[in-house]
Each structure stands twice: as structure tokens, then as C-alpha cells.
């Protein structure tokens, strides 16, 4: 986000004309209050549907009928800076009040959660990151931005950039997985896609990077829980994607709910002012998370609302989502000298700058033609991108005896309630999907004329239908495709789980099918890495399908029948059993890495290895890595190697480059991802691949938050996942 000198002057002139109250008004984000039968704030309603307290259907009904108070009088009085919502007609109405009826005519930021697409729902982020396809990640964000604008939204509460290492945390679904390097690439792609339009100036939005910071490090994977960590861990693991996003010019950030080392991120001047606005250079503003300013009282860091509001603004939190504490108390606080006018002006300047950058002063409205574009069926290019993203995000985890791809002419049995749930393909934080757009796995199979009998048998909750199970077992097909996993509501906000094995009676169903001698191909639908120890051992094949968005069914059926050769990789480690969590590949070494001998770092009752490591994913062909050569020039190490497709079909491999700093002044991870490339090879083809590691990226942040590059020995690894690698060594003097 860069403003021209003229734009900066415009902001200063406007600021100069504002009253104290009007300034405070810009810091207030309102949500329409739902009145008449459902009296909760809009953002809480969104949370209720997200965490499953109410169903999508109930939510839809409430939305269709509820009367809303949009606080028009406050908008008219200049007391609202932003409104939450996704109704373009209403957005135009409210903008008109702000622009034509308020004294200074300042347009509104219209904010909404567009995490992995709006009406065009793409794969959840943890899945899409596994495509390792930066260009795809950018294109899906750009399409989300375009749809957002048509829905009246000009500010997206995305991308979610929480590096997540504990799969019990339900919000792992919303982010790019466990690796800071991959998360940083994801961050850059998303900021470019959301903020840099390529076709028309209307089709970009302001991004809101979240949740700042270390929210995913919540103790025990329990949402909203406390976080504690060293400076070096904060800088090396959690900050990198935010740093990358700021380098790309991200317009805003959302402070996270958690406390970090005892200070809630809402009132944390070290993380907000010193790091985010100072070191990382955020030029736009920081918004609180929903109701988070008030929650500072519950945290026990503020005595009351007034105290919380003053602490937040002074700490560098610029906009209040949902509490109206700024609205109610900041003007008085300025009069009392508890908040300086400079502090208030800085917050207002940042918010106005984003509005100017968005071009809202020139045109705050949505064109009727844009609204009309989504009144009917989704445009074909949107559907095509949903399908491409879904196909590239699928990860083949097991394929014993090449049971896959299936032959379309052979009949099989399909089980699992999830197979026939179009409403469950979308994943957490999908708020504008339409059922008719959604393709369930069963529908996807029907679309290609597959021959199968279907018995739901059981889903993630509820009982096992014995009759249906018996029919599935008695059927004469040897192969059973079992669609199992989690409902959308089992991941996302407030959806932490202590047990991350396949829920309900689904494992029991799988066990009975295996015991009956069936060959079982599991297709997983889930929002988090699951503990798959039993499934990995006993099932014939496993396809990780995540929640792939509206084209899930078509993408899965193409993979099942080999029309698409899977190329996705895991953006997170999968455990075998619950107790291994948090589990991640880039952990520090210990003095006693786990081995078979007793006094080493391991469990007595669980393996030390992951079930499936970070970066893992099979293909219908096989790839061989050989001839690793490391060459060095002034600024880079170049790892070149031969990648060969040793199978008999074409395929795409994500070749990965890892590094280990062998001895440093702080213990470093056993491996760190430093590069990757998608390489497509015809059957039998080989190619020399070169992955480059810049020397300036070989350092780390120490406990003073200082980036250091230390001379010494480095191990370099290349391979198709974080475990199976070729290795070499290089001694580097910086």
C-alpha cells in the first residue's frame, strides 16, 4: 500500500477538518445488529454458524428474515468507520449515507471474512497451501477479491497466516500449515492476489493479515488459550508470514485474541507498535478481533472497558471490532489526557489512508452489473478455477499395490454419509456458498458415469447403520470407497479437539469392512491433520481430500479414475496417535533424539516418527532424485539434481529444498524448508532441477530479535518430502 504525495496531502487535509468525535468515529467498526427474534451482534452470529452452534440452514433463515439495525444515524453523524457485511445493495445504501449525508463524506470500509473464496469456494487454506503452487494461490485470491467487490466488500479479513503446529487447534484449517517458509510464500501470493488487481481498478480489496500474533501457539491446541515463547521462536516461526505480507504492502492486520507472554495481543505495544508498525512497517491499520478489547477485562489486564480501550489505542490498536468501547470512551480519554491527540491522529490517518488507497473517495459503490453477475449461475471461469484448485490440493497418502486409479468400468461400493453431503465440501469460514454450486463426492462420481452402489452407513456423528453396513459388506464389489472425516463445523474457530482421530463410528465402519475382506480406499474430508495410525496401516489407499470447496466431488472423482494424477503435498505433519501432538517436522534437535534405546526423546507407547511427514504426497507415477550437486556463488547456494519420472504416466512432483544449520549459537531446527518447485515430467523423462538458496536466507533471529547469519557448516537436502531426501554439505562464510 503506497500513497502518492497528493493522496497523503488529501489525508492530512481531511484529518485537519475532523472534530474529535469524527476522528473517534473512524475507529469504530459496527456490525448490523440483528433485531426481531435474534438479538446477538452479527459477528457472534457468524461465529455461531462457524462453530456449529446453529446450522447453515438456520443461519440462512435468520439472515433472510431478520430485521437489522445498520446504525444509519451513527453513519450519518460520522461515527462509523467500517461496517461488517456482504450485501451489496445494503453496502451501496450505507455508503450513500456516509458519502452524501455525513458532514465530511468519508466512505466506509466494508469488511467481511473471505477466507478461501466467497461464492466461489476454494479449498481451505491448509489444503491449498499443499498445492505448493504460488501462482494458483494468487489467482484464487484475485478471484475472491473480484467477487468481494461485487458483494460490496472492500476489506477482506484474510489471509489468515497463523503457522500452526498443533492439529488439535481447530483453526489449522484456515491457515497455510506448519512451515514459516511456505506460509510466507502463501502470504505473498495472497496479498498480491487480493490487493493488486490486474484487470480493473475496481477488483482489488484491502487485505487484513491475521491473527497477529502467535495465536496458533495456544497451549494444548485449545482456542483462545495463552501463549508463551522466546523471542527467537516468535521471530523465526510466527512472524515470517506477516513480515512477508508487510513487504508486499498488506493494508491491515487483525490483533489476535491470545495473550503472548502475559500481554494480550490487543493491548500489546511491543508486538503492535514496536514490531508490526515499527520493524515490519505496516502502513495501514490494526483492527481488534471481535469483542477483543472488552475481553481484556476478562484476561485480567484491564479493570474495565475504559481502561481496556485506552490501553488498546495507546498500544497501537487502531480500530475496534464489535464493542463500541472506542466510540463510547475515547473522546473523553483524549480530553482527560489519557490518550494523546497524536495517537488518535495516527490511528485515523492509517484508516483514512487505506480508504484513499482503495479509491473509495472516487467510487465507493458497487455497480449493478457486478451485482447482477452473481445473481445467476457462477461464471464458468470461476467454476474452472475452483476445480483446478481442488485438483491441485488433493494429496495421495497411500496406494498399496497401485489399487488406484480405479477402472471406471468396474463396479464398487461407496460408503460414508459425507459422500452425499454437498453442504460439507465447503469447509470452515464459508459464508456465501450456494448449495446448487456444490458438488458432493457422490455427485462427482455420478457426473463421470461411475458404477457404484451407495450406503451411507455412518457419518462423523451419530450411530452406525448396521443394515447399511451389512449391505455394503454383502455387495459383490471387492472395492469400497469410504468417504470419512469431519464435518465443516469440526474445524475453524472454537473447534479445538482433544481427539483428532477420525470421529464417531467411522473407524469402526472401516474396521468392519477391512475384517470382511474388502479393499478399502478412504477419501478423507477434514479440516485438520488427523491421527491416522490405524488407517495408514490397514487401509489399501488413502486420499486426503480436505474440504476442497464447491468442486470437491468432480476433483475427487477425476483423481479416483486417474484423469488427474495427484500432485498435492502435505502442508502439515500427520500424527499416528493423538498424544504425539504438537507434531511438526522443523523441530529443534535434542541432545537425545528418539531411537530404540531407552533414554532418548520418545514415547513408550507411540512412534516418534510422524504418520505422514510434512511435504509428503504420492503420485500415480514415481519420481527418483539423484546426483545432488551443490555449487556456491557470492550470494547463493545452488542445489542441482536430476529428477526422473520412473513410472509410466506423466506426473507433477513438488521438489523440495531443505537446510540445516549444523552448529549455531542457538539450537536450530533439524530441517527447514527453503525452496520448492512444481516439476511436470512425462513418463520416463528426467530433468535437471536447480533450487536456489540465497545466503541471506540462511540465518535466523536470535533472542534479541536480531537477524544473524553465522559462518559454518550447513546440510542441504532435496527430496519429495521432508523425510526422504538426498543430502549434501556446504561450509559457508557470510
Per CB under 6 A, which of residues 656..715 are in contact with ligand NOJ? Answer: none
Sequence-distant (6+) residues with CB within 8 A of 247 are 188
- The interaxial angle of helices 134-150 and 180-195, nearest 10 deg, is 40
With CB under 6 A as the contact rule, the residue among 437, 493, 653, 672 that binds ligand NOJ is 493
State in angstroms the smallest separation of the CB of 490 from ligand NOJ. 17
When binding is defined by CB under 6 A, the residue of 45, 46, 414, 510 that contacts ligand NOJ is 46
Out of 22, 30, 43, 320, the only residue in the binding site for ligand NOJ (CB under 6 A) is 43
Closest approach, Cβ 112 to ligand NOJ, in A, equals 8
Of the residues 166, 179, 223, 289, only one is catalytic, namely: 289
Which of 157, 487 has the CB closer to ligand NOJ? 157
Q: Which residue's CB atom is positioned nearest to ligand NOJ?
A: 157
- Please work out the total of residues on this chain that contact ligand NOJ, with binding judged by CB under 6 A: 8
The three grid cell numbers given for residue 469, joined into one nine-digit string: 453396513
Closest separation in Å from C-beta 438 to ligand NOJ = 22
Q: SS3 for 291?
A: coil
Residue 589: how many other CB atoms lie within 10 Å: 13
26 φ, ψ (degrees, to nearest 5):
-65, -20
From residue 631, alpha-carbon distances to 363, 482, 640, 686, 719 in Å are 53, 48, 8, 21, 17
Interacting residue with ligand NOJ among 134, 289, 307, 672 (CB under 6 A):
289
Q: How far is the CB of 125 from ligand NOJ (least distance, A)?
A: 12
Angle between helix 506-515 and helix 466-474 axes, rounded to 10 deg: 30
Nearest to ligand NOJ of 157, 616 (CB atom): 157
203-232 footprint of ligand NOJ as x/- string (CB under 6 A): -------x----------------------
State which residue, 157 or 658, has the beta carbon closest to ligand NOJ.
157
Q: How far apart are CA 564 and CA 680, in angstroms?
A: 13
274 is catalytic: no
Q: Answer yes or no whether residue 59 interacts with ligand NOJ by CB under 6 A.
A: no
Q: Do the beta carbons of residue 658 and residue 435 sit within 8 Å?
A: no
Farthest-apart Cα atoms in the chain, separation: 81
> Could you tell me if 278 and 270 are in contact, meaning their C-beta atoms sit under 8 angstroms apart?
no
Choose which of 118, 126, 290, 552 interacts with ligand NOJ (CB under 6 A). 290
According to DSSP, residue 451 is labeled: -
- Chain-centre distance for alpha carbon 502: 21
What are the C-alpha distances in Å from 502 to residues 209, 510, 515?
A: 31, 10, 18
- Near ligand NOJ in 611-640, by CB under 6 A: none
Shortest Cβ 412–ligand NOJ spacing (Å): 40
Nearer to ligand NOJ, 70 or 620 (CB): 70
Q: Residue from 113, 179, 320, 653 that binds ligand NOJ (CB under 6 A)?
A: 113
Strands (E), 572-622: none
For residue 141, give the nearest of 433, 430, 385 by alpha carbon.
Answer: 385
The three grid cell numbers given for residue 500, joined into one nine-digit string = 483428532
Minimum gap (Å) between residue 155 Cβ and ligand NOJ: 11
> What x/- string results for residues 131 through 170 when contact with ligand NOJ is judged by CB under 6 A?
--------------------------x-------------
Question: What part of residues 557-586 is at the interface with ligand NOJ (CB under 6 A)?
Answer: none
Crossing angle, helix 56-65 and helix 42-50, to 10 degrees? 160
Closer of 248 and 493 to ligand NOJ (Cβ): 493
d(CA 257, CA 491) in angstroms, rounded, equals 17
Binding site for ligand NOJ (CB under 6 A): 43, 46, 113, 157, 210, 289-290, 493
Residues forming the active site: 289
Amino acid at each position: 500500500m503506497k500513497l502518492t504525495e497528493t493522496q497523503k496531502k488529501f489525508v492530512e487535509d481531511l484529518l485537519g477538518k475532523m472534530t474529535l468525535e469524527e476522528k473517534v468515529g473512524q475507529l469504530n467498526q459496527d456490525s448490523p445488529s440483528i433485531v426481531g427474534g435474534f438479538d446477538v451482534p452479527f459477528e457472534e452470529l457468524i461465529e455461531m454458524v462457524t462453530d456449529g452452534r446453529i446450522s447453515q440452514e438456520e443461519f440462512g433463515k435468520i439472515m433472510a428474515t431478520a430485521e437489522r439495525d445498520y446504525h444509519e444515524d451513527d453513519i450519518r453523524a460520522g461515527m462509523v468507520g467500517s461496517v461488517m457485511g456482504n450485501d451489496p445493495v445494503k453496502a451501496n445504501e450505507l455508503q450513500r449515507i456516509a458519502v452524501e449525508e455525513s458532514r465530511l463524506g468519508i466512505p466506509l470500509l466494508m469488511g467481511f471474512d473471505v477466507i478461501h473464496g466467497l461464492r466461489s469456494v476454494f479449498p481451505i487454506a491448509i489444503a491449498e497451501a499443499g498445492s505448493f503452487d504460488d501462482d494458483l494461490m494468487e489467482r484464487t485470491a484475485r478471484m475472491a477479491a473480484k467477487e468481494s467487490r461485487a458483494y460490496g466488500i472492500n476489506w477482506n479479513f484474510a489471509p489468515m497466516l497463523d503457522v500452526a503446529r498443533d492439529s488439535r487447534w481447530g483453526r489449522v484449517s484456515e491457515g497455510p500449515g506448519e512451515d514459516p517458509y511456505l506460509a510466507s510464500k502463501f502470504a505473498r501470493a495472497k496479498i498480491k492476489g487480493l490487493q493488486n488487481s490486474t484487470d480493473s481498478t475496481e477488483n482489488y480489496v484491502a487485505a487484513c493479515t491475521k491473527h497477529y500474533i502467535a495465536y496458533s501457539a495456544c497451549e494444548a491446541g485449545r482456542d483462545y488459550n495463552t501463549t508463551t515463547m522466546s523471542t527467537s521462536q516468535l521471530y523465526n516461526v510466527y512472524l515470517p508470514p506477516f513480515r512477508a505480507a508487510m513487504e508486499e504492502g498488506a493494508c491491515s492486520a487483525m490483533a489476535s485474541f491470545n495473550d503472548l507472554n502475559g500481554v494480550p495481543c490487543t493491548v500489546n505495544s511491543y508486538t503492535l507498535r514496536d514490531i508490526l508498525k515499527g520493524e515490519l512497517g505496516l502502513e495501514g491499520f490494526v483492527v481488534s478481533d471481535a469483542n477483543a478489547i472488552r475481553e481484556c477485562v476478562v484476561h485480567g489486564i484491564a479493570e474495565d472497558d475504559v481502561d481496556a480501550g485506552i490501553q488498546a489505542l495507546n498500544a497501537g490498536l487502531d480500530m475496534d471490532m464489535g464493542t463500541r468501547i472506542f466510540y463510547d470512551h475515547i473522546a473523553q480519554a483524549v480530553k482527560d489526557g489519557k490518550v494523546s491527540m497524536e495517537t488518535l491522529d495516527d490511528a485515523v490517518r492509517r484508516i483514512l489512508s487505506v480508504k484513499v488507497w482503495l479509491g473509495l473517495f472516487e467510487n465507493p459503490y458497487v455497480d449493478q452489473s457486478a451485482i447482477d453477475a452473481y445473481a445467476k449461475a457462477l461464471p464458468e471461469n470461476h467454476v474452472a478455477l475452483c476445480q483446478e484448485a481442488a485438483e491441485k490440493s488433493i494429496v495421495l497418502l497411500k496406494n498399496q499395490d497401485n489399487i488406484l486409479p480405479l477402472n471406471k468400468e468396474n463396479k464398487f461400493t461407496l460408503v460414508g454419509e459425507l459422500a452425499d453431503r454437498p453442504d460439507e465440501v465447503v469447509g470452515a469460514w464459508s459464508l456465501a456458498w450456494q448449495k446448487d454450486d456444490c458438488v458432493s463426492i457422490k455427485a462427482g462420481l455420478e457426473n463421470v458415469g461411475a458404477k457404484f452402489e451407495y450406503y451411507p452407513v455412518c457419518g462423523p456423528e451419530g450411530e452406525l447403520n448396521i443394515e447399511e453396513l451389512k449391505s455394503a459388506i454383502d455387495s459383490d464389489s471387492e472395492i469400497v470407497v469410504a468417504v470419512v472425516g469431519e464435518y465443516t463445523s469440526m474445524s475453524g474457530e472454537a473447534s479445538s479437539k482433544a481427539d483428532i482421530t477420525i470421529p464417531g463410528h467411522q473407524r469402526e465402519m472401516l474396521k468392519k469392512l477391512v475384517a470382511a475382506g474388502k479393499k478399502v480406499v478412504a477419501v478423507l474430508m477434514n479440516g485438520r491433520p488427523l491421527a491416522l495410525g490405524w488407517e495408514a496401516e490397514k487401509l489399501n489407499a488413502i486420499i486426503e481430500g480436505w474440504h476442497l470447496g464447491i468442486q470437491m466431488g468432480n476433483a475427487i472423482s477425476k483423481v479416483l479414475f486417474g484423469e488427474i494424477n495427484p500432485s498435492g503435498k502435505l502442508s502439515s505433519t500427520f500424527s499416528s496417535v493423538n498424544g504425539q501432538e504438537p507434531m511438526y517436522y522443523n523441530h529443534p534437535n535434542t541432545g537425545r533424539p528418539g531411537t530404540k534405546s531407552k533414554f532418548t526423546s520418545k514415547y513408550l507407547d507411540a512412534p516418534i516418527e510422524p504418520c505422514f511427514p510434512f511435504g509428503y504426497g504420492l503420485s500415480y507415477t514415481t519420481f527418483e532424485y539423484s546426483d545432488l550437486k551443490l555449487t556456491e556463488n557470492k550470494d547463493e547456494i545452488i542445489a542441482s539434481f536430476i529428477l526422473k519420472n520412473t513410472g509410466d504416466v506423466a506426473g507433477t512432483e513438488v521438489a523440495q529444498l531443505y537446510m540445516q544449520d549444523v552448529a549455531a549459537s542457538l539450537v536450530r531446527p533439524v530441517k527447514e524448508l527453503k525452496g520448492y518447485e512444481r516439476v511436470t515430467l512425462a513418463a520416463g523423462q528426467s530433468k535437471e532441477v536447480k533450487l536456489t538458496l540465497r545466503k541471506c536466507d540462511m540465518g535466523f533471529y536470535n533472542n534479541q530479535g536480531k537477524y544473524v547469519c553465522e559462518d559454518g557448516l550447513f546440510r542441504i537436502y532435496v527430496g519429495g518430502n521432508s523425510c526422504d531426501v538426498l543430502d549434501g554439505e556446504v561450509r559457508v562464510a557470510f
